[in-house]
Amino acid sequence: MSATPAVGIVGAGFGGLAAALELKGAGIDSFTVLEREGEVGGVWQANTYPGAACDVPSVIYQFSRHLKPNWSRRFGRQAEIRDYLREVSIETGVREHIQFHREVVAATFDERAAIWHVEMADGQTLTFDVLICATGQLSRPRLPELGAPEAFQGAQFHSAEWDHSVELAGRRVVVVGGGASAIQIVPAIVDAAEHVTVVQRSPSWVVAKYDWTPSRLEQQLTTRVPALLSLYHQAMWWWFESRYPLVLRRMDPLRRVWEAHLRRCIRKVVKDPAKAAAATPDYALGCNRLLLSSEWYETIARPDVDLIRAGVTAMSPTGIVTSDGREIDADVVVWCTGFTATEYLAPIRITGRGGVGIREAWADGPEAYLGLATSGFPNLFMSYGPNTGSLTNTLVSMVEYQAAYMRQAIEYVQRRDVALDIRQEVHSAFVAEAQERLQKTVFTSGCPGWYTTDSGRVTTVWFGSHVEYRRRTRHFDPAVYEEIPRRVDGRAPVLPISASAVAGV
């Protein structure tokens, strides 16, 4: 048996930590996690805006083998989720493998040695046998392309780069966007601000968020009886899994009934007909992210909140100019305009076999076999890769399935001393299957938002259930890969980690 492969993991969010935990649990210690920030957490480290919280119950928004019994709320808040990930990294020993403030800018596959050369922002080059990219879909903030945005004389920032030095009390605040961050931010700041204007091109479907503080009895039971906590975790997971059929087009009759009910609820709370119309989506329920809030409609119904259904075309010294010609004065502009979710792995420059860049390989949009591997890029695996996003169940279970698959692949690489490249015919067949099955879902019904590329191709969401994905990734099948033997003796060294590189232990 060959030496254990050196594994590089890019990113220390849920995906990167899931991979690290899986390897650590299997006795594979030859891995290094490269994290560009100063702490673990991914989006939960970066997004510190007011009201930031999860829209999946905490009991299933956590690692299945590291269940926390004492969440302060049914839906975890940003700081608590970040702290949970930090605690898991410490308790499991994974943190010893993490290097912080280490940004990857490029990765090139060496065909002769069958290893990856990874270039860091500081100019250092590292080498790994296997590279796992866990950079996530929501890591690069997206801002609208406007002429002279610096013309605005007030404060402006993206929700994922919240400027806590900016005072909102008594200020006129414009929030641009109507997605998940906006519906959390606006209710959280409305009492402090003098006036809030929400500018959104397309409203979201929003349903009630049944959140509460767990009772003392519940916390004591789940703490003292781990089996009960595990049972609760499984029961909630299956409850969410039962929602999968709702994304299929054959459920359209039921969907229309639900949409009609939600429209009535909007009109009941938002009395102003113009506001109600601006808050009501004109696309199918479920084709975009279904948002949870019990405060959104009550907030936008307030007289000190305006809701404008338009885009932003320009900035002026005193505010913004909307696509319908209005000029909105503002002291602060908050961009809740999402992320470049279809630009997987960007801005890392990744070069595979034959000198082909991954952007070139993905000219028609990001694609990967089971969201894990792209043909032409041996021993490169992805966590939360193309077409593995889920709207019906927890993302955490998806990245755990992927981590187990990648661990099996790494063990195979060790036994055979090879690099694995997904066969082109297997890759192409999966991509064709994905696009065909997506046509049977609501995701291809003309949805706005970030699930599709500019050409309209859906590249982010999984087309099946979590049960199906777990079945298809449970056992690693080497037959779907081409084996590339090493041509020279030697192996990528395990990168040593200095104490100074590990922060916050």
For residue 450, what pLDDT is reported?
65
Is the pLDDT confidence value at 493 over 80? no
Binning pLDDT at 50, 70 and 90, where does residue 142 land?
confident
- Asked if the domains 7-140+341-419+465-501 and 149-204+243-335 are classified in one and the same CATH topology, the answer is yes
Is the pLDDT confidence value at 455 over 80? no
Q: Please write the tens of the pLDDT for every residue from 193-251.
A: 999 999 999 999 999 999 999 999 988 999 999 999 999 999 999 999 999 999 999 99
CATH of the domain spanning 7-140+341-419+465-501, picked from 3.30.420.40, 3.40.50.12780, 3.40.50.720, 3.50.50.60: 3.50.50.60
For residue 91, what pLDDT is reported?
98
Is the pLDDT confidence value at 278 over 90? yes
Is the pLDDT confidence value at 427 over 70? yes
Is the pLDDT confidence value at 492 over 80? no
Span 124-142, average pLDDT = 88
Q: Do 287 and 392 meet the contact criterion of CB atoms below 8 Å apart?
A: no
Q: How far apart are CA 293 and CA 482, in angstroms?
A: 48
pTM of the full structure:
0.93
431 vs 446 pLDDT, higher one: 431
Q: What percent of the chain has pLDDT over 90?
A: 83
Is the pLDDT confidence value at 499 over 90? no
Start-end of H helices in 115-251: 180-189, 216-224, 226-241
Domain ranges of the chain: 7-140+341-419+465-501, 149-204+243-335
For residue 446, what pLDDT is reported?
82
For residue 487, what pLDDT is reported?
63
The 31-34 sheet, strands edge to edge? 98-99, 31-34, 7-10, 130-133, 380-382
Q: Do 182 and 200 meet the contact criterion of CB atoms below 8 Å apart?
A: yes
Helix (H, G, I), strand (E, B) or coil at 119: strand
Classify domain 149-204+243-335 at the CATH topology level: FAD/NAD(P)-binding domain (3.50.50)
Is the pLDDT confidence value at 138 over 70? no
